[in-house]
Amino acid sequence: MDVTIVDYKSGNISSVINSFSEVAKNKVNIEVTSNLNKIKLSDKIVLPGQGSFKSCIESLNSINGLIDTLSEFVLNNKKPLLGICVGLQMFADIGYEEVETKGLGWISGKVSKIDNHKGKYKLPHIGWNQINIVKESKIFKDIENNSHMYFVHSYEFIPNDKSVTVATTDYSTNIVCAVEKENLFGTQFHPEKSDKIGLKIIDNFIKL
């Protein structure tokens, strides 16, 4: 099996590579590439994302044909894709970080700044927070409810259709922190930085 981590030159993906390599243990081939043919031929895709919504979308756009290839993989071929952090946020129709930016539109919704209640809550939301699993998800197999995951973000994904939400976390408001829609998976937290429990989520995704 080939799992491809999309390298679109946006932010730091070495932790994502290290964690997937650790879990794959040579049994699964982990590719790190932006090569469109390799992406097309892979069985699963990981879409990381660091920095702003705008800069990530711009980086995706800077590689000719990448967004079309990813959309075809997800929407037509229905193969599994995991978005992490801004990788998940980009599923949305629109994001409001820096300037209004069009997203991939895979899951209808928007990405807005977390309401910090006039400074009562610090942003970014950094650290370990518990996830409240609201719906069964394949990537949460053997993950206990209220497990701690590592978060670092100032913006949140607000899906229009609440039924895609599989987990939330409490920080100033109830933040959507994991989604599942058919073959599309996303986590706002960083499984690659969430110790053994995070590696279990990665293992679940690889084993889908």
The correct pick among 51, 63, 72, 114 for binding another protein (CB under 8 A) is 51
Which amino acid makes up residue 99? V
174 makes contact with another protein (CB under 8 A): no
Which structure tokens are listed for 174? 């109830």
What kind and span of H or E run contains 101? strand 101-102
Residue tagged 């977390």 (tokens): 114
Torsion of CA 38, 41, 45, 51, to 10 degrees: 30
Site string for another protein, 56-95 (x = CB under 8 A): ----------------------------------------
Give 78 or 122: the residue with its C-beta nearer to another protein: 122
153 part of the active site? no
The correct pick among 194, 201, 203, 204 for binding another protein (CB under 8 A) is 194
145 makes contact with another protein (CB under 8 A): no
CA distances from 160 to 29, 109, 113, 172 (A): 35, 5, 16, 20
Which structure tokens are listed for 168? 């939330």
Instruction: Provide the binding-site residues for another protein, judged by CB under 8 A.
Output: 11-12, 14-15, 18-19, 21-22, 50-52, 55, 116, 119, 122-130, 148, 150-154, 170-171, 192-196, 198-199
